[in-house]
Chains A and B, each alone.
Chain A
Amino acid sequence: MTDIQIQLDRVADDAHLLDVRDLFIEFHTRDGIAKVINGVSYHLDAGEALAVLGESGSGKSVTAQAIMGILDIPPGKIVSGQICYNGRDLLSLPEKERRQVRGKEIAMVFQDALSALNPVFPVGWQISETLRHREGVARADALRRAVELMELVRIPAAKQRLRDYPHEFSGGMRQRVMIAMSLALSPKILIADEPTTALDVTVQAQVMDLLAELRRELHMAMILITHDLGVVADVADRIAVMYAGRIVEHADVHDLYAVQGHPYTKGLIDSIPRLDHKGQELATIQGLPPSLMDIPRGCPFHPRCPYRKDPICSTQVPTDQRLASGTRTSRCHFAKEVLDGTAA
């Protein structure tokens, strides 16, 4: 066991496995300062699956990159906040210790497996290299372990495919290779950032099933980042909805789909066409997400909100309102009314 792990294992029981607290991140670019993450908080317990849902640009990936310690700094800048893993703030760890956490405690898979894998090395070599480099495993053992990992992610004829290059795998198989690689060091948390967005629907279903099975088999916690409301419903326990760098609603998956406590979430769910019946005209959310260089005053969603009441919504930033079941929250001045259906 490494030093860090011993230290990490000693922390208080009541702490969450992962606790992101009030995170603020900016990007300093030539065009100005983009306030990309504006007070994000979420947590994850051992074995749990949290979905982070939001449209493109809402800050899902940047938050994950900050957790992994792979954020582009500069232009990125973590302004404030904490990311506690087993009670220790990763943001205050020296890079050497941080590196110990990456891959071994928290690992990540990306949307685009082809660009995340090295094209000039066989996949077996890439998986085994992680083990040799990080764990000091001997070459033959590392290769044997690589085969096991490829079998774990259900790659057929794994042993024969050890010497194949990434481009020789289909899209779905490549995503499995990347998942195998992320599991090499037996992480406690797997962050999957849009892992199936680039895949066809039948292959997407296979990969999502695999992730759900692995999570159960390995008792691993998972953060599933997606823009697809359908994907979330199938795997997550809880869901955090992001808008303009904030978590605007947070609830158990069942509760969230049954009824929404934030106008943005409600708008999203109402605007998707259904598979099971033809449906009438789709509801829409008017307008566009704000520029992160110029986020509206008050509630960032107010210019698009059908329930807005002035002056409060256009001047006061809403804080988290607790709703019905203890853990459910919504960042809306009228969260309770929206949830009850009494907001107008």
Chain B
Amino acid sequence: MAPQRETILRVENIAKYFPITRGIVFQTKIGEVKAVDGVSFDLAKGETVGVVGESGCGKSTLARLIMRLEHPTRGQVFYQDRDIFAMPGSALRRLRRNIQMVMQDPYTSLNPRMTVGDIIGEPFEIHRDVAPRGDRRRKVQELLDYVGLNPEHISRYPHQFSGGQRQRIGIARALALRPKIIVCDEPVSALDVSIQAQVINLLERLQNELGLAYIFIAHDLSVVRHISDRVAVMYLGKVVEIGTEDEIYGRPTHPYTQALLSAVPVPDPTARAHRDVIRLEGDVPSPANPPSGCRFRTRCWKAKPICTEQEPPLTAQQADPHLSACHFAELRHVVA
């Protein structure tokens, strides 16, 4: 185990419900989507926490909450012990510098009408103290070089770059203000495998050199294992299991984590024979109407009456001391 490091970000029981409305002029609320529903975890300096789960489980909403792009229905996010939703203006400006984001789609997250120089330099417009005007071009070129792009391409437009290169532009923009944390929302999901590896290596190099902490969201469990120190598994707005990379992959105790791991196709036909096959029935239920008790129970092969009645808390389990939210948590080695 790594030595205890200083916590930089703490997420406490955060929730975000989106109203479901009917009508256009007179909107009436007819329900709620519980996109994120009571998530807690913390992030240490220089650490990577991976977040995995199927689409719609609330990963992007969680990211947007941490970025303060959404206001929570309840709960808090503390950056260096200060609640980001209760910060005065000056602290907020500093916060914006310290937490940056890289998004999935390098095609839509960059303004097609701006040059790469303007895109990467844009944060300097808002935070003028970071780079004096005369210094900006040089700074942007340094950043381009740093993320493995040609500094001479500063005047090109996003469409003149490949997908992987565009993702590097997004990373350079995120780095411009020298943040402490980067929230990466599916940063390599749209990329081909050979390009994906280049971007992952880049993110790891930047972390080592700059001491960055990452929240790394992805649906690819192999990628998440590779990059993460700790991993949170989400299902329908909740964290169902959280632990070190080794605990989650090597000693999972939650049935959902086990099913998720079992479903990953492994590029090794000889390993197939030795794998523990768990197949879930059906799709994920709607977050507008999640099952009572344990939200996973409708797809769970272990479900008993208690699972309908009581929501299992996320706690240390007898089977293994890392946190898992299941009434019947037990070890199962899914990944050989």
**Neighbouring A residues of B282 by C-beta, 8 Å:** 170, 172
B265 sits at the interface (CB 8 A):
yes
Which one of A85-93, A140-148, A231-239, A329-337 is at the B interface? A231-239
Q: State the 3 A-B residue pairs at the shortest beta-carbon distance, nearest first.
A: A230-B265, A273-B226, A205-B263
With A229-B267, A257-B268 given, is the CB distance from A201 to B221 under 8 Å? yes
Among B164, B226, B269, B336, which residue has its beta carbon within 8 angstroms of that of A257?
A: B269
Whether B260 is near chain A, meaning CB under 8 Å from some CB there, is yes
Task: Report whether B335 and A288 are in contact in the complex, using a CB–CB cutoff of 8 Å.
Answer: no
In the complex, whether B196 has a CB less than 8 A from a CB of chain A is: yes
For the complex, give the distance between the alpha carbons of A56 and B192 in Å.
7
Contact partner of A282 (CB less than 8 A), chosen from B164, B201, B272, is: B201
Contact between B197 and A272, CB atoms less than 8 A apart: yes
CB neighbours (8 Å) of A205 from chain B are 262-263, 265, 279
Q: Which residues of B contact A254 (CB under 8 A)?
A: 269-270
Residue of B nearest to A230 (CB): B265
Q: Which of B162, B197, B335 contacts A283 (CB 8 A)?
A: B197
- How long is the Cα–Cα vector from A341 to B279 in the complex, in angstroms? 38
Does A201 lie within 8 Å of B194, measured CB to CB?
no
- The residues in B between 157 and 182 inclusive whose CB is less than 8 angstroms from any CB of A are 162, 164-165
Q: How many residues of B contact A (CB 8 A)?
A: 46
Contact of A227 among B192, B261, B263 (CB under 8 A): B192
A201-B195 contact given A230-B266, A288-B162, CB 8 Å threshold: no
Chain B residues positioned under 8 Å from A227 (CB to CB): 192-193
Q: Does B241 contact A (CB under 8 A)?
A: no
Q: Mark A161-187, 1 if CB is under 8 A from B, else 0.
A: 000000000111100000000000000
CB proximity to A under 8 Å, residues B250-307: 259-272, 279-280, 282-284
Task: Tell me the complex Cα distance, A66–B143, Å.
Answer: 45
The reply to whether B266 and A284 contact each other, CB–CB distance below 8 Å, is: no
Decide if A71 is an interface residue (CB 8 Å cutoff): no
Task: For A267, give its contact among B194, B227, B271 (CB under 8 Å).
Answer: B194
Are A275 and B283 closer than 8 Å at their CB atoms? no
Give B51 Cβ to nearest chain A Cβ, in Å.
15
Q: Is the CB of A288 within 8 A of B195?
A: yes
* Cβ-defined contact, A273 with B266, below 8 A: no
Do the beta carbons of B225 and A278 come within 8 Å of each other?
Answer: yes
| Cβ–Cβ < 8 Å partners of B249 in chain A | 275-276
Q: Is A204 a contact partner of B263 (Cβ separation < 8 A)?
A: yes
**B201 proximity list for chain A (CB < 8 A):** 281-282, 284
B21 at the interface (CB under 8 A from A): no
A268 to B197 CA separation, bound complex (whole angstroms): 9
| A172 contacts across to B, CB distance below 8 A | 282-283
Least distance between A253 CB and chain B CB atoms (Å): 5
**What residues of B have a CB within 8 angstroms of the CB of A201 in the complex?**
54, 219, 221, 260, 263-264
**Mask of A201-217 contacts with B, CB within 8 angstroms, 1/0:** 11111101100000000
A234 touches B265 (CB 8 A): yes
Q: Which residues in A have their C-beta under 8 angstroms from that of B227?
A: 273
Would you list 8 pairs from A and B whose C-beta atoms are within 8 A, ordered by A residue?
A: A200-B284, A201-B264, A234-B272, A275-B222, A275-B264, A276-B266, A281-B204, A282-B200
Bound CA–CA A271/B222 (angstroms): 12
| Docked CA distance A209–B221 (Å) | 19
Confirm or deny: A311 has a beta carbon within 8 angstroms of a beta carbon on chain B. no
Measured between beta carbons, the chain A residues less than 8 angstroms from B329 are: none
> Closest CB-CB distance, A202 to chain B, in whole Å?
5
- Whole-angstrom CA separation of A268 from B267 in the bound complex: 11
Q: Does B245 contact A (CB under 8 A)?
A: yes
A231 to B269, CA, bound (A): 10
Chain A CB within 10 Å — which of B54, B162, B193, B268 has the most?
A: B193
Evaluate contact between B193 and A268: CB separation under 8 angstroms.
yes
Bound Cα distance from A272 to B194, whole angstroms: 8
Judge whether A208 and B265 touch: CB under 8 Å.
yes
**In the complex the two chains form, is B283's CB within 8 Å of A203's CB?**
yes
Cross-interface CB contact of B196 among A209, A231, A271, A281, cutoff 8 Å: A271
Considering the complex, which residues of chain A in the window 264-311 have a beta carbon less than 8 Å from any beta carbon of chain B? 267-269, 271-276, 278-279, 281-285, 288
CB B268 to nearest CB in A, in angstroms, measures 6
With A201-B264, A284-B201 given, can you name 14 additional A-B contacts, CB distance below 8 Å? A170-B283, A171-B283, A172-B282, A201-B219, A204-B265, A227-B193, A228-B265, A234-B265, A254-B270, A269-B267, A274-B226, A275-B335, A276-B266, A276-B271
Most chain A beta carbons < 10 A, residue from B219, B262, B268, B272: B268
| A55 touches B (CB below 8 Å) | yes
> Considering only CB atoms, which chain B residue lies closest to A264 in the complex?
B194
Complex Cα distance, B260 from A175, in Å, reads: 20
Residues in A whose Cβ lies below 8 Å from that of B221: 201, 275
Q: Cβ of B223 < 8 Å from any Cβ of A?
A: yes
Closest B residue by C-beta to A208: B265
- A332→B335 CA distance, assembly (Å): 35
CA distance A269 to B266 in the complex (A): 11
